[in-house]
């Protein structure tokens, strides 16, 4: 499926959809960007000469600074290095004829099959990453020390995120090799994990950018729904802006292309539907946020012990209003981290030269993309 010659289409106004979110920028952006660019250029056998050419124009340091605006320098540097590694790993696997490093590492089957589960149990998530050609460069003494002190719950989340990432990448590569187009439902599940959004968030947790609230019952379910909406907003927005780039590289697994195929839509029709999907997911995100906060403090109930059953239902171990208030602060910080991630990425796509070349500002304003203009 290719775009007709000279065909044009208008992107949905992604920035307007999430316009209620506040964009913040980390003040250490330039310092950290200079640091990672210097590190990568000197790291033996990490990036090829061709990959180094577009290192600066992708502005991945800005991406990290927008998504994690409150980090100090060491935190931001680790997150930036991780995002850069994730980006180049994905770009390599999308390249025509590339053999997946994940598939080469071990012949992994789709999730749910016993052989895969047994293999993943035998090898820790950290070991899996260490054995990959790009991720192995991340594990310096400081990063390893941080991981060694992590809680069992964090290690469990890391393991889950790595397994989901592996399964999504391997399914993507298998579909590409067989020229298969997944169903819309299967693609949405795969896309959520495909570029390691969950893994990046787990690393941010390790660095204490936020805490994952330990909730139960309705609170845990609402929190999971909130996170799922956030990651869908990011994934679908990225597919919208990367559609032309994907088509030029022969990548047919893109939400726009899949909607065109399964719903018999034009490029513009699929773009419009993608925009509506992002909008609906953002509305759901906001609804889940309100519901989650209301579970803790409906009408100021934290001030009245008689209503303590409300927060005890989602925090059985809480023994006081003070503990419930502390958890509420943790929840709010977690929600803000998700918001920073959403608004940061959606602003970055117009700043990087990856998708639109130097026309990002024009496309941000008017939305029109022309297929015969290369990034």
Q: What is the DSSP letter of 109?
A: P
Residues 6+ away with beta carbon under 8 Å from 49: none
Burial of 282 (0-12, 13-18, 19+ CB in 10 A): buried
Please indicate, yes or no, if residue 21 is contained in any of the structural domains.
yes
pLDDT reading at 56 higher than 80: yes
Q: How many whole angstroms separate alpha carbon 141 and alpha carbon 153?
A: 22
Higher-confidence residue of 312 and 112: namely: 312
Beta carbons within 8 Å of 178's beta carbon, 6+ residues apart: none
Within 8 A by CB and 6+ apart from 324, the residues are: 296, 302, 308, 311, 315, 318
pLDDT in tens, 10-45: 999 999 999 999 999 999 999 999 999 999 988 888
**How far is residue 27's CA from residue 337's CA, in Å, rounded to a whole number?**
17
Provide the pLDDT for residue 327: 87
Give the length of the chain.
Answer: 375
Percent helix, strand, coil in the chain (nearest 5)? 70, 0, 30
User: pLDDT value at position 307?
Assistant: 44
User: What gap in Å lies between CA 150 and CA 154, rounded to an integer?
Assistant: 6
Q: Which domain holds residue 233?
A: 8-96+129-298+321-370
Quick check: pTM over 0.85?
Answer: yes
**Does residue 338 form part of some domain?**
yes
Residue 305 pLDDT > 60: no
Q: Is residue 112 part of a domain?
A: no
**pLDDT level of residue 121 (50, 70, 90 thresholds):** very low
pLDDT band at 348; cut points 50, 70, 90: very high
Question: What's the CATH number where 356 sits?
Answer: 1.10.600.10
Q: What is the pLDDT of residues 74-116, one digit of tens each?
A: 999 999 999 999 999 888 876 655 554 444 434 344 444 444 4
Q: What is the pLDDT of residue 224?
A: 96
- The DSSP 8-state label assigned to residue 108 in this structure reads P
Which of 56-65, 215-224, 243-252, 335-344 is the least confident region? 243-252
pLDDT score at 250: 84
Q: Strand, coil or helix: what is 9?
A: strand
Query: Is there a domain that residue 337 lies in?
Result: yes
Q: What is the pLDDT of residue 249?
A: 84
Q: What Rg value do the Cα atoms of the chain yield, rounded?
A: 21
∠200-221-239 over CA atoms, to 5°?
45
* 217 conformational bin, left if phi > 0, alpha if psi -120 to 50, beta if neither: left
For residue 238, tell me if it sits in a domain.
yes
Contact 364, 350 (CB under 8 A): yes
Instruction: Please state, in angstroms and as integers, the Cα–Cα distance from residue 272 to each residue in 238, 246, 263, 267, 279, following that order.
Output: 14, 18, 13, 9, 11
Structure-model confidence comparison of residues 312 and 228, the more confident one: 228
Q: Are 225 and 287 in contact (CB under 8 A)?
A: no
pLDDT at 314: 57
Is residue 309 assigned to a domain? no
| pLDDT range class, residue 316, cuts 50, 70, 90 | low
pLDDT in tens, 222-250: 999 999 999 999 999 999 999 999 888 88
Asked, for residue 23, whether it belongs to a domain, the answer is yes
Residue 45 belongs to some domain of the structure: yes
Quick count: other Cβ atoms within 10 Å of Cβ 18? 22
- Which of 163, 155, 143 minimizes the C-alpha distance to 81? 143
Q: b/e per residue, 223-256, with b = 16+ CB within 10 A?
A: bebbbebbbbbbbbbbbbbbbbbbbeeebbbbbb
Confidence of residue 199 (pLDDT cuts 50, 70, 90): very high
pLDDT range class, residue 304, cuts 50, 70, 90:
very low
Cα angle vertex 170, ends 164, 171, to 5°?
Answer: 90
Longest dimension (CA), the chain: 68
H or E element, residue 338: helix 321-351
The average confidence (pLDDT) of the chain is: 85
> Phi and psi at residue 370, in whole multiples of 5°?
-115, 130
pLDDT digits (tens, 9 = 90+) for 133-172: 899 999 988 999 999 999 999 999 999 999 999 899 999 9
CB 110 within 8 A of CB 116: yes
Q: Look at 371 and 220; give whichever has higher pLDDT.
A: 220
Percent of all residues in the chain with a pLDDT value above 70, rounded to a whole number: 82
| Residue 118 banded pLDDT, cuts 50, 70, 90 | very low
Domain count across the chain? 1
């Amino acid at each position: 499926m290719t775009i007709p010659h000279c065909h044009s289409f208008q992107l949905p106004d992604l920035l307007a959809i999430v316009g209620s979110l506040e964009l913040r920028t980390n003040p250490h952006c330039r310092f950290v960007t200079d640091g990672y660019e210097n590190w990568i250029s000197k790291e033996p056998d990490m990036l090829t000469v061709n990959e180094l050419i577009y290192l600066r124009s992708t502005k991945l340091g800005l991406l990290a600074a927008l998504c994690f605006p409150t980090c100090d320098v060491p935190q931001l540097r680790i997150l930036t290095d991780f995002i850069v590694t994730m980006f180049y790993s994905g770009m390599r696997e999308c390249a025509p004829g590339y053999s997946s490093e994940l598939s080469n590492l071990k012949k992994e089957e789709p999730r749910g099959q016993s052989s895969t589960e047994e293999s993943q149990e035998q090898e820790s998530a950290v070991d899996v990453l260490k054995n990959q050609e790009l991720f192995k460069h991340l594990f310096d003494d400081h990063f390893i020390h941080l991981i060694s002190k992590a809680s069992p719950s964090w290690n469990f989340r890391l393991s889950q995120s790595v397994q989901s990432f592996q399964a999504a990448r391997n399914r993507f590569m298998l579909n590409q090799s067989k020229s298969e187009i997944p169903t819309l439902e299967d693609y949405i599940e795969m896309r959520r994990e495909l570029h390691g959004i969950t893994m990046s968030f787990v690393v941010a947790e390790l660095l204490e950018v936020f805490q994952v609230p330990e909730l139960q019952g309705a609170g845990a379910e609402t929190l999971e729904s909130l996170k799922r909406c956030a990651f869908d907003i990011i994934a679908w927005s990225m597919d919208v802006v990367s559609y032309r780039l994907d088509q030029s590289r022969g990548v047919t697994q893109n939400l726009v292309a899949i909607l065109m195929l399964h719903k018999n839509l034009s490029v513009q029709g699929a773009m419009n539907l993608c925009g509506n999907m992002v909008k609906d997911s953002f509305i759901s995100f906001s609804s889940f946020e309100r519901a989650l906060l209301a579970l803790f403090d409906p009408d100021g109930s934290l001030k009245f012990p008689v209503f303590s059953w409300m927060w005890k239902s989602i925090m059985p171990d809480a023994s006081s209003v003070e503990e419930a208030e502390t958890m509420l602060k943790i929840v709010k910080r977690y929600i803000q981290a998700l918001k920073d991630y959403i608004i940061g990425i959606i602003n970055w796509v117009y700043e990087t030269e990856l998708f639109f070349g130097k026309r990002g500002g024009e496309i941000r304003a008017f939305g029109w993309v022309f297929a015969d203009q290369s990034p």
